[in-house]
Amino acid sequence: MRGYSAIREGRLQRLLLGLSLVLSLASVIHVLSTPPASGYETSVTSAYSMELFGAVAVSSLLGIFVDATSERKRYWWKFLIPLFVSYLLLFCLPLFRGYALYGRGNSDVLFHLGEARTIVNTGFISPDNWYPVIHILLAVLEQFGISLEQGRYLVPLLFFGMYLGFVSLYADRVASDSTESIVLIGCALPLLFGRFHLSLHPSVLSFFVAPVFLYLLESHRGAREQRRFTALSLVFASFVLFFHPITTLLVAVLIVAYTVSPRLTRMVRRTTPTTDRRTATVFLFVLVGFSAWYTRFERLGTNLVQFIAPALRTRKSAAEAQQAEAMGLKPTELVVQFLEMYGSIAVYALLSGLFFVAVTVAVANRTAKRRDLDIAVQLIAGGGIAIVLVFYFTMSPTRGFRYLILAMTLAVGLLLSRRYGREQRRGFAHVGAIGVLLVLLVTFLAVGGLYTDHNHLTHSEASGAAHTIETATGKYETASYSTSRDIAWYSLGYRSATERDVQPFRGGGTETEPPPSLGYGDDDDRLGDAFETYPQYLFLTEHDRRAPYNGSESAYTESEHARLADDRAANKVYENGETELWVIDPADRQ
């Protein structure tokens, strides 16, 4: 066909790659020409038009589309340029908006930056830091002139790049040709892990290393240099071991699941699978290393008790549902919120279901391929882990689904590659185009879930918190609706803050927060009454006035704030435009 001939000759590659570069350049111009935030903003992305995210999605996938449909792979590296530019823009939007940091309140980012600051300030790792990898990396970048605040965005981008690289290694091993390999890589491009891409949470960043174990396990099979692959497996197992405990256990499950598929292959194809004792060696190393390292930390034991006892805290999924109900969201708003948070995962779950059905039919006909059985077993393992982590261990859905997300990504890639193969090139115009559109839709949905509203720290709030830390420490406790003790860990370093007992903020929670509506829920209520008879600091931020709070539009209204100014028990001692510090002393009424 003439169209395919043009593709083979490279004409269409040049045209579409040129279009991809133009879209990337337009995205850069749009972001750089948008002025930084001049005050508090609801969302990081509110200043940008939806066309920006559409351009990013299209630009990212055009290169993959070109490479997947071409006979000559002369342009394979060029698609990396628009891909890198697109994701660099997405991950660094808070920098372009001029925020002090993306992450506030009880955000994990504050704690992990605090641990990294401890290493920078003292040269040592905190004694109770059982997953220091991310903190060491941030501290090393600091020595090369990249601040912790800048590294906070670059490190997640680095690990996502590693994730794509490891998926590509696995794809090269299992794909029958380069076309199928590129399709598998393309299905890994969407940001399926949502807001956890930028959370700095080791549980997710560490799992971005997991695809390398699939590559190494696949390399074990039929490889002459199995010792080399075993050594690499032990190196990466050690890396994950010091990264996060749950990921270490998930890697152990992944290894076990991968040993099941050869037995299924024997049942389906009536052949004798090869056995590899080196896989058992890696598995035992992971378990022994886990026991030897993590049992040393007393604080980890306390956290695990809280983690495995659902009665000790509210289930995460139920809490999110109750919050949505309390806010009175309409059905359409609930649908939009669901699509923003989990829409991309839902699309991949649907496609993975089709893949599983196809594999089941192939098993019944005894025509199933080994690679399909491998991923089908991983889907089953990922689904079981997701059920346990989300519904019993109360983990948030995306974190609990991380194993399943990897399995679904590979399943979708294998499903689409069935129709992209060269032997079925004639069906590409129908089924292949649909596959590209679905991945494009998932990419667009995933971009929308990358950032959450009201989760950025402004410079004014950071300055107000720093002032409060210096003035309130050792004097009075400080109540706040949305600022926790984590801000002290971030500002001073976790070890310095804990050793000096710098805890002016009480950590949040209904028992330590200020009273609802500043204590003025009824006409006769007064703020000072809620603090009994002792002085307290009250720290208020623009976030409290703008963000939803316990089902309300905000923590307090303008009229309630005016009553605070007239209350004789309240005395404002600091203000910088977005933050205020008050001393509350009921004795002043006397």
Residue pLDDT, tens place only, 24-44: 888 888 888 888 888 888 888
Which is nearest to 90 in space by CA: 198, 192, 200, 163? 198
Contact between 302 and 309 under an 8 Å Cβ cutoff? The reply is no
pLDDT at 6: 44
Token couple for 440: 């494009």
- Classify 215 as helix, strand or coil: helix
* Amino acid sitting at position 467: H
Contact between 128 and 298 under an 8 Å Cβ cutoff? The reply is yes
Query: Is the pLDDT score of 588 beyond 80?
Result: no
Helix axes 178-187, 402-420, angle to 10 degrees: 140
10 Å CB burial of residue 28 (0-12, 13-18, 19+) is middle
Question: Which pLDDT band holds residue 141 (cuts at 50, 70, 90)?
Answer: very high
What is d(CA 500, CA 159) in angstroms, rounded to the nearest whole number?
34
First CA to last CA distance, the chain: 92
Let me know the angle formed at the C-alpha of 350 by 67 and 173, rounded to the nearest 5 degrees: 40
pLDDT at 135: 92
- Classify 588 as helix, strand or coil: helix
Token couple for 491: 């500002």
Which is nearest to 179 in space by CA: 436, 417, 423? 417
Question: Which pLDDT band holds residue 78 (cuts at 50, 70, 90)?
Answer: low
Token couple for 119: 């290493």
pLDDT at 127: 79
Would you say the C-alpha torsion 277, 283, 287, 292 has a positive or negative sign? positive
Could you tell me the strand order of the sheet in which 536-541 lies?
Answer: 478-480, 536-541, 579-584, 570-575
Query: Is the pLDDT score of 72 beyond 90?
Result: no
pLDDT at 429: 45
- Which of 173-177, 196-200, 240-244, 406-410 shows the highest mean pLDDT? 406-410
- Classify 137 as helix, strand or coil: helix
**Residues 276-280: what's their mean pLDDT?**
62
Write the CA distances from 560 to 266, 483, 545, 556, 571, integer angstroms.
72, 20, 11, 6, 15
pLDDT at 319: 46
Task: Indicate the range of 1-5, 180-184, 185-189, 289-293 predicted with least confidence.
Answer: 1-5
Query: Is the pLDDT score of 295 beyond 80?
Result: no
Question: What is the number of other CB atoms lying within 10 angstroms of the CB of residue 235?
Answer: 11
**Residues 296-315: what's their mean pLDDT?**
46
- Which of 71-75, 184-188, 448-452 shows the highest mean pLDDT? 184-188
**Residues 217-230: what's their mean pLDDT?**
68
Q: What is the CA radius of gyration of the chain?
A: 26
**Residues 485-506: what's their mean pLDDT?**
73
Q: Identify which has the larger pLDDT, 66 or 548.
A: 548
What is d(CA 195, CA 43) in angstroms, rounded to the nearest whole number?
13
pLDDT at 409: 92
Distance of CA 553 to the CA centre of its chain: 27
Question: Which pLDDT band holds residue 155 (cuts at 50, 70, 90)?
Answer: very high
- Beta strand pairing status for 478-480 and 536-541? parallel
Phi, psi of 389 (to 5 degrees): -70, -40
What is d(CA 356, CA 380) in angstroms, rounded to the nearest whole number?
10
Helix and strand counts by DSSP (H, E) for the chain = 27, 6
Question: HEC states along 456-505?
Answer: EECHHHHHHHHHHHHHHCCCCCEEECCCCCHHHHHHHCHHHHHHCCCCCE
Phi-psi region of 271 (alpha: psi -120 to 50; beta: other; left: phi over 0): beta
Residue 584: strand pairing partners: 536, 570
pLDDT at 226: 65
- Which of 6-10, 52-56, 513-517, 528-532 shows the highest mean pLDDT? 513-517
**Residues 513-519: what's their mean pLDDT?**
79
Q: Match 């830390």 to its residue by tokens.
A: 469
- Classify 451 as helix, strand or coil: coil
Q: What is the pLDDT of residues 370-423, one digit of tens each?
A: 888 888 989 999 888 888 877 766 567 778 888 999 999 999 888 887 654 444
DSSP-derived letter for residue 584 is: E
Q: Match 């979708």 to its residue by tokens.
A: 412
DSSP-derived letter for residue 522 is: S
Token couple for 364: 């019944």
Residue 572: strand pairing partners: 582
Phi, psi of 33 (to 5 degrees): -85, -10
pLDDT at 144: 92
- Classify 574 as helix, strand or coil: strand
pLDDT at 432: 52
What is d(CA 378, CA 254) in angstroms, rounded to the nearest whole number?
7
Q: Identify which has the larger pLDDT, 334 or 434.
A: 434
Task: Provide the mean pLDDT of the chain.
Answer: 76
**Residues 312-326: what's their mean pLDDT?**
45
Long-range contacts of 115-122 (CB under 8 A, 24+ apart): 115/489, 115/493, 115/494, 116/142, 116/148, 116/151, 117/148, 117/490, 117/492, 117/493, 117/494, 118/493, 118/494, 118/495, 118/496, 120/148, 120/493, 121/493, 121/496, 122/493, 122/495, 122/496
pLDDT at 279: 66
Question: Which pLDDT band holds residue 2 (cuts at 50, 70, 90)?
Answer: very low
**Residues 561-579: what's their mean pLDDT?**
87
How much of the chain exceeds pLDDT 70, in percent? 67
Would you say the C-alpha torsion 433, 435, 436, 441 has a positive or negative sign? positive
**Residues 220-244: what's their mean pLDDT?**
74
Helix axes 211-220, 226-241, angle to 10 degrees: 160
Question: Which pLDDT band holds residue 267 (cuts at 50, 70, 90)?
Answer: low
pLDDT at 286: 66
Query: Is the pLDDT score of 334 beyond 60?
Result: no
pLDDT at 500: 63
**Residues 482-511: what's their mean pLDDT?**
70
Distance of CA 353 to the CA centre of its chain: 24
Q: What is the pLDDT of residues 469-484, one digit of tens each?
A: 888 777 777 888 888 8
pLDDT at 139: 93
**Residues 182-209: what's their mean pLDDT?**
86
pLDDT at 156: 92
pLDDT at 431: 47
- Beta strand pairing status for 579-584 and 536-541? antiparallel
Let me know the angle formed at the C-alpha of 88 by 83 and 89, rounded to the nearest 5 degrees: 105
Helix (H) or strand (E) holding 261: helix 245-269
Query: Is the pLDDT score of 282 beyond 60?
Result: yes
Q: Identify which has the larger pLDDT, 335 or 400.
A: 400
The pTM score is 0.83
